[in-house]
Structure 1
Amino acid sequence: MNTPSLKQVFSHPDHLFAFGFGSGLAPKAPGTFGTLAAIPFFLLLQHLTWPVYLSWLLVTFALGVFWCERSSKALGVHDHGGIVWDEFVGFWVTMFMAPAGWIWIVVGFVLFRFFDIIKPWPINWLDKKVHGGFGIMVDDLLAGIYALIVLQLLAYFVRFL
């Protein structure tokens, strides 16, 4: 597997974003490190109005399709493990309209990683059948939607405890 060096990642914009500002270069569990690296950005985004936040998600998803496609082609590897922009966007989807507080960030992180790793249907099907930048991004988008639904349900029911 052709993994770029830190210097290569920081010298090429496609790799810089696709590799999550270098977080995807973690030798073990790059997806987890990519999701962790998305948290500081979420802290800056969490106070946006929902229409602006949703616009952010749409733009970063579309840019992710572009960056991940170009980065994977340059590396000659479809969905290289170090490409983690999809984890960034998937986590941000999970946290859409999430309650405030660190406990919800942790719950969102765990839920997103759970759905991203186990890949329930149709995530597993999409992961195998859809290729290119859209294929890299769409399975994490759906994992984020699954995690978003569970997070919102938990938040709803916690109110009654």
Structure 2
Amino acid sequence: MAEFKPTFDWLKQRPLCLLAFGFGSGLAPVAPGTFGTMAALPIAFLLVLIGIDGWILAFLCVALFMWGIRICNHTEKALGIQDYGGIVWDEMVAMLLILAFAPFKWNWWLAAFILFRLFDSIKPWPIKWFDRHVHGGFGIMLDDIIAAIMTLIVLGIAAWII
């Protein structure tokens, strides 16, 4: 049996799934996680411009994480597929968390993007362990938050060195 491929029309009929798919960015035919991560950039940019950054944005990310558990659980059930690659809410929230603490400069945001995608794609320990052993909406969200924390550690070391 062929794998179900959601469409934008399918997402429009399911608002929680539309969120899980990063407003459609998760429908990208290749590297949907990268496109989902990219979707977070203009959102973060606008939030920073209106004064929502740093710890305020981090606390917002906690709420988005909690809501993401429900969104991702719902979408997994609607698709009938565990941890479907097009579910990118986790990448969006993780990238927003990283950008809450990254300097508001293009080179830092680019470094943050590249590092996060590297950690999320390669899944070094402990990310891989959590990805394999924790499932459902919480599992989907958790491994990306761990990748975000690892990204923040590397960015912190770079800021300290520079």
TM-score of the alignment, normalized to the shorter chain, above 0.5: yes
* Alignment counterpart, residue 135 of structure 2, candidates 121, 131, 149: 131
Q: Could you give the per-residue CA deviations for residues 61-120 of structure 1, whole angstroms, max 9, x where no partner exists?
A: 011111011001110001101000010011112223211211111000001001001111
Deviations 1:21-58 (A, max 9, x none): 00000000000011111100110223425332122110
CA 1:157 to 1:150, structure 2 compared with 1: closer, same or farther past 3 Å? same
Letter in 1 for 2:64: T
Q: Paired residues, what number?
A: 158
Q: Which runs of 5+ in 2 are unaligned?
A: none
Q: Which among 71, 91, 109 is matched to residue 95 of structure 2? A: 91
Q: Does 1:7 align with 2:9?
A: yes
Cα contact 1:57–1:92 (8 A) shared by 2: yes
Out of 71, 75, 82, the position equivalent to 1:71 is: 75
1:1-161 equivalent positions in 2, closer than 5 A: 1-46=3-48, 47-158=51-162
Q: Percent identity?
A: 48
Deviation for aligned residue 1:12: 1.1
CA distance in 2, matches of 1:27, 1:89: 21
Once the two structures are superposed, residues 107-147 of structure 1 have per-residue CA deviations (whole angstroms, 9 ceiling, x without a partner) of 00001001001111111011011011001110001001100
| Cα pair 2:11 2:18 within 8 Å, conserved | yes
Q: Normalised by the size of structure 1, how large is the TM-score?
A: 0.93
Instruction: Provide structure 1 residue ranges, at least 5 long, that are not aligned to the other structure.
Output: none
One-letter amino acid of the structure 2 residue matched with residue 133 of structure 1: G
Amino acid at match of 1:124: K
* Cα RMSD for the two superposed structures: 1.1
Report the TM-score, using the length of structure 2 for normalisation: 0.93
